A and B are shown apart, each in its own frame.
Chain A
């Protein structure tokens, strides 16, 4: 009985937050050691790729061969110029920027209509947009291929951008964010007689900067990393994107015409844009993710 009372008292104390010494969990060096090992495992494959991209032949058969070489400039130049990676990267960038800007504009419009307009059936329209979550590219690339042939869009930038412009995820995130903007601000704008265009440009967008940056990063990473659809619909090297460019390099290296160091240079180049964006904008990115889950 006494034990139980003590237990209850301890509980109550700790819930109130007094008489409790702040426990420091950092005392265990083992935690840091484990973290170091796991971080090493997560980073190791890419570290190998970057190191190999600086070597002459890229033959690394033992851990002892993992010292950087002196062929970095040579390899990256060869990948970018001789193996057209400059061109592939440019095409990927064009595709990603068109998708990000297009999605952003179109989704801000749609979310604004859904949140700030009193019109009938708008819940139904929102559901109609949300339902497209059930129709990801893998479910419809076969008919989409036929449709692109009928439209004559195959092998063009239209084919790899326009189908991505409508985005249920982006409309959803923006709607959630718009709903968190205080009504008092919205009503003030109304009393001041602000029209829809000025409302969007001078109230909505300034109040949504973080989320707009966050969704832009999510959309860029998604667009840049697309592999299956460009593989199917783009069939000339001049219009190909970096992801599929890697597949072309892989074909050459399996055929023995190319050294692994060039493939790793191409891989490193393809990784850099989304990785840098993510690191630079990690704060708005993480905040936006926390909206998405709700």
Chain B
């Protein structure tokens, strides 16, 4: 029987694994355990801890501010995920359809993968600035009063647009690979059956691409919840009146503006559970699709 397991020294394999395991235990597992422990204490920066059992969690359960932050995060994630998937899917389809200039089109839409969120945020702050923005004039000419420093819903839209823009590149990278994997014969059969244009995208490509699309929905959800911190911090600081105060920003403020490490730790534990659920769903669904050989 052929095998890849050509070495059997336990000491060697232990040494090879040691650095990864050591860093994982000290900087990933231990801090997580510490967060769980601190979530049961009344812990403020530089002060002694006092055991308070579930009080911090009760605080979260009864705090309307936290509830609205949770709802806001879900709404934000929904808008970002739907926006990113729709725009990226259509872009990928158009690129898939052309023969000339495909490579150039591809690189000019996947580059935002490399875009630092902080840069994206500042550029958006500039082009959509209520008084200085280059886009503000044209938008106001259509009859919208650009005022997102004070208008909550507008601030939400600006942060969401910036977040969608940054994530297009990553999505197109995966979508183009999946779409190129659709057998040519299938495309030709669809054409012969008169399934053309957008209908071919929706009823032929999308079903075949489902595993990739599902993977992207999960990745984009995690992105919207956690990796959009820089957009919120630089564009709105969670305002106006908490209109963009998503969970990750709320957690940051709890820890480093109010120094409530006990409550902040409880909020970290909630986020951990959230990531856990998302990963679990992804794992289960990916598993299910793998039976179809996709």
Contact B20 A279 (CB under 8 A): no
Contact A125 B173 (CB under 8 A): no
Contact B31 A14 (CB under 8 A): no
Nearest-neighbor residue (CB-CB) of A163 within chain B: B27
Stretch at the interface among A32-40, A69-77, A205-213: A32-40
* Cross-chain contact of A228 among B19, B134, B230 (Cβ < 8 A): B230
Q: How far is the CB of A145 from chain B (nearest CB, A)?
A: 7
Contact B98 A25 (CB under 8 A): yes
Contact B189 A106 (CB under 8 A): no
A167 to B28 alpha-carbon distance, docked (Å): 10
Q: B160 — which chain A residues lie within 8 A by C-beta?
A: none
Q: B133 — which chain A residues lie within 8 A by C-beta?
A: 61
Contact A163 B268 (CB under 8 A): no
**What bracket does the count of chain A residues touching chain B fall in?**
35 or more
Q: Is A236 positioned at the interface, with any CB of B under 8 Å from its CB? A: no
A275 to B215 alpha-carbon distance, docked (Å): 25
Q: B95 — which chain A residues lie within 8 A by C-beta?
A: 35
A232 to B27 alpha-carbon distance, docked (Å): 16
Q: B255 — which chain A residues lie within 8 A by C-beta?
A: 141-142, 145
A199 to B38 alpha-carbon distance, docked (Å): 46
Contact bitstring B63-98, A, C-beta under 8 A = 1, else 0: 000000000000000000000000100110011011
**What bracket does the count of chain B residues touching chain A fall in?**
35 or more
Q: Is A202 positioned at the interface, with any CB of B under 8 Å from its CB? A: no
Q: A178 — which chain B residues lie within 8 A by C-beta?
A: 4
Contact A162 B6 (CB under 8 A): no
Contact B23 A221 (CB under 8 A): no
Contact bitstring B1-29, A, C-beta under 8 A = 1, else 0: 01111111110111011011101100111
Nearest-neighbor residue (CB-CB) of A110 within chain B: B20
Contact A14 B118 (CB under 8 A): no
Q: How far is the CB of A152 from chain B (nearest CB, A)?
A: 14
Q: How far is the CB of B267 from chain A (nearest CB, A)?
A: 8
* Cross-chain contact of A25 among B97, B116, B192, B230 (Cβ < 8 A): B97
A246 to B125 alpha-carbon distance, docked (Å): 12
| Contact A271:B119 (CB < 8 A) given known A14-B188, A113-B13, A138-B226 | yes
Q: Pull 17 A–B residue pairs with CB atoms less than 8 Å apart, ordered by A.
A: A11-B192, A35-B105, A43-B108, A48-B134, A63-B134, A118-B5, A144-B27, A145-B255, A171-B20, A178-B4, A196-B7, A221-B113, A243-B116, A264-B122, A271-B119, A275-B114, A286-B173
